[in-house]
Chains A and B, each alone.
Chain A
């Protein structure tokens, strides 16, 4: 099986999706000739032409709004928002138009649009390049919100997102873009786990760690460190933030009785709050400790020289585990 970076896996996944369906087209700023600022779409315009890989004007609302029109015409647009912090001009089109078209037309119109977006911090960049806006989208009915943490998922989840008849916010963990891992390209969309499924990455018995996207590597590192101290962590890669695969989380929480949720986004009103509430409702008698959160703080993203103090790391995760174990 080939070892691919997340960037290359996404690139190959997009290539395969475009081969499979001539209605799939890509649109975004700098995605054609340049191949995207992170090179995710590199070479695709050469392969598929400038009518299927379209360099767009610099207008995010325009990109999503015209993608809606293209989807109404029968296309499957995959649009790139260059950075997480740049998505907000398109917020109205995403939340007010895209998310509710199926509902408002009582199922007559569907908008199979994928919005790709690098997200998260840790790359030492300037303001507005390190945001984690997933909570806004996960709180919006009608959108699917997914994120990959490894190359295999990057390759398959982007294809699943494109194949979905619902609009999908596809979040790419930009600080893990160049991390390589094995990709089994030798399968088929129908044979891999469903897009909304959470995945247990390491089985454990003492405490469940739920993360997604860029924090998964940190969660796995925490599990290795905990194991050295004889504490067994079960790491779950959420993969889908909307819908949330509660049965997998509930099963694990019932088993371990302790849960720590990890994300880079701010704490209050985040995805972690939703999961904590639902687990408390579903697993109340099995929980040995309150559900804990290790997250970014309730502040705007800080200047990069201090971002390591903002981002969840293994030390903070292990502190939370220790607190859980202390109850």
Chain B
């Protein structure tokens, strides 16, 4: 994978296959239908969560609207034994790892800091600090290498790690240090940067004067640009990078070029900085629509299947609504748990203070 000006694209915005000199689709039609279903469901999750925030059920939500292909394509390229380190916007990645959407909501509702067991799903909880987890991913990948769980040639054993972050994170020291460590130790990690053009209100050109993937060369890492709204290209490029990592060929930086069609978070007002014409341009490049056009043209997606998938999305949304409202508030005393591995006199004493206050309010 050499540095190149070109952007890998296998399915264009009209839903037609295009040729790429290095990549070709290995996906069966049934798999493409699965991807389509994933993207529709993840968009429904996103819409529902945004609505729940508007209704006051969530404190905040970071919409992924527009980034479905980048997340589904890349995360579906992962194997069970791989591990994902994500930011607060990777609901699609969490979905692919098997996380229930209601468990995603618990973080945003404020009932938990981590809504799911990272080891069970082999997917780390939402990371809020920009880029911090790129180092965790790299360290985890170093661990896989040191434990000889890479380069065995056994497809069921060899592990790789995905580190997800955005264009803004490319300026963070931690991400750059992660590149240094990953290159130095040839760690089996794939850096998947979703360049959604905006870091809240700052355009990508505020972060970099060159395409982000070019940065990789300076670290001795292959960098590759992919159409982030093309789920097939995202899958193929990530799959090859993961295979490289698993077979001991080191890290890769993938820049998936996409667009944040929604706000940074539900607290943001993108009309203050995004230009309408630009948003409209990217609306025409919608990641779901193009796959739909392709699958319909092939005759594998018909009205019946489409309504089945949209019913599934509606059912899921309804369940999210119901179960979100029923997510229990944690016991206030639980804030004193798990600060340390053992009990602590000082914390126990402060816990008793709260117990006293709680019992007083119960008495009243």
> Are B339 and A141 in contact (CB-based, < 8 A)?
yes
Q: For residues 72 through 118 of chain A, which have their beta carbon under 8 Å from a beta carbon of chain B?
A: 72-75, 89, 92-93, 96-97, 102-110
Closest chain B CB from A164 CB (angstroms):
7
Closest chain A CB from B334 CB (angstroms):
8
> Are A59 and B139 in contact (CB-based, < 8 A)?
no
> Are B338 and A103 in contact (CB-based, < 8 A)?
yes
Residues of A within 8 A of B141 (CB): 69
Q: Is B153 an interface residue (CB 8 A)?
A: no
Q: A97, A108, A166: which contacts B118 (Cβ < 8 A)?
A: A108
A62, A93, A108, A243, most chain B CB atoms within 10 A? A62
Q: Is B137 an interface residue (CB 8 A)?
A: yes
Q: Is A65 an interface residue (CB 8 A)?
A: yes
Interface string of A57-77 (1 = CB under 8 A from B): 101011011111111111100
Interface string of B117-136 (1 = CB under 8 A from A): 11100001100010010111
> Are B143 and A73 in contact (CB-based, < 8 A)?
yes
Residues of A within 8 A of B178 (CB): 62, 65-66
Q: For residues 101 through 116 of chain B, which have their beta carbon under 8 Å from a beta carbon of chain A?
A: 112-114
Residues of A within 8 A of B135 (CB): 61-62, 64-66, 68-69, 93
Interface residue stretch chosen among B274-282, B301-309, B340-348, B355-363: B340-348
The answer for the CA separation of A247 and B345 in the assembled complex, in Å, is 10
Number of residues on chain A facing chain B (CB within 8 A): 43
Closest chain B CB from A244 CB (angstroms):
7
Q: B136, B181, B344, B346: which contacts A97 (Cβ < 8 A)?
A: B136
Closest chain A CB from B321 CB (angstroms):
25
The answer for the CA separation of A92 and B177 in the assembled complex, in Å, is 14
Q: Is B174 an interface residue (CB 8 A)?
A: yes
The answer for the CA separation of A144 and B339 in the assembled complex, in Å, is 10
Q: B113, B144, B180, B334: which contacts A105 (Cβ < 8 A)?
A: B113
Q: Is A226 an interface residue (CB 8 A)?
A: no
The answer for the CA separation of A2 and B19 in the assembled complex, in Å, is 73
The answer for the CA separation of A5 and B55 in the assembled complex, in Å, is 65
The answer for the CA separation of A144 and B113 in the assembled complex, in Å, is 22
> Are B129 and A73 in contact (CB-based, < 8 A)?
no
Q: Is A229 an interface residue (CB 8 A)?
A: no
> Are A243 and B132 in contact (CB-based, < 8 A)?
no
Q: Is A186 an interface residue (CB 8 A)?
A: no
Closest chain A CB from B57 CB (angstroms):
22
> Are B147 and A73 in contact (CB-based, < 8 A)?
yes
Q: Is B195 an interface residue (CB 8 A)?
A: no
Residues of A within 8 A of B125 (CB): 104-105
Residues of B within 8 A of A51 (CB): 146
The answer for the CA separation of A103 and B139 in the assembled complex, in Å, is 21
Residues of B within 8 A of A96 (CB): 129, 132
Interface string of A120-141 (1 = CB under 8 A from B): 0000000000000000000001
Q: Is A53 an interface residue (CB 8 A)?
A: no
Given A97-B136, A103-B339, A106-B112, CB of A243 within 8 Å of CB of B118: no
> Are B143 and A142 in contact (CB-based, < 8 A)?
no
Given A57-B181, A59-B181, A62-B181, CB of A106 within 8 Å of CB of B139: no
**Interface footprint category on B:** 35 or more
Interface of B is mostly: helix
The answer for the CA separation of A243 and B340 in the assembled complex, in Å, is 10
Residues of B within 8 A of A59 (CB): 177, 180-181
Given A92-B132, A97-B132, A244-B346, CB of A102 within 8 Å of CB of B139: no
> Are B140 and A72 in contact (CB-based, < 8 A)?
yes
> Are A69 and B142 in contact (CB-based, < 8 A)?
yes
Q: Which residue of B lies closest to A68 (CB)?
A: B136
Q: Is B184 an interface residue (CB 8 A)?
A: yes
> Are A142 and B339 in contact (CB-based, < 8 A)?
yes
Q: Is A279 an interface residue (CB 8 A)?
A: no
Residues of B within 8 A of A165 (CB): 341
Q: Is B138 an interface residue (CB 8 A)?
A: yes
Q: A68, A107, A108: which contacts B119 (Cβ < 8 A)?
A: A108
Q: Which residue of B lies closest to A143 (CB)?
A: B340
Q: Is B318 an interface residue (CB 8 A)?
A: no
Residues of B within 8 A of A107 (CB): 337-338
> Are B117 and A246 in contact (CB-based, < 8 A)?
no
Q: Is B173 an interface residue (CB 8 A)?
A: yes
Residues of B within 8 A of A169 (CB): none
Interface string of B321-334 (1 = CB under 8 A from A): 00000000000001
* Interface CB pairs A-B, < 8 A, 26: A59-B181, A61-B135, A61-B177, A65-B138, A66-B138, A66-B139, A66-B181, A67-B139, A68-B136, A68-B139, A69-B135, A69-B138, A69-B139, A72-B140, A92-B174, A93-B174, A96-B129, A97-B129, A97-B132, A104-B113, A105-B114, A108-B114, A164-B341, A166-B342, A244-B346, A247-B345
**Sample of 14 further A-B pairs with CB below 8 A, known A65-B139, A105-B125:** A57-B184, A61-B177, A62-B135, A68-B135, A69-B140, A70-B139, A73-B143, A75-B146, A106-B334, A106-B337, A142-B340, A243-B344, A243-B346, A244-B346
Residues of B within 8 A of A (CB): 112-114, 117-119, 124-125, 129, 132, 134-144, 146-147, 173-174, 177-178, 180-181, 184, 334, 337-342, 344-346
10 tightest Cβ-Cβ pairs between the two chains A and B: A69-B139, A65-B135, A73-B143, A66-B139, A62-B177, A104-B113, A69-B140, A165-B341, A107-B338, A69-B136
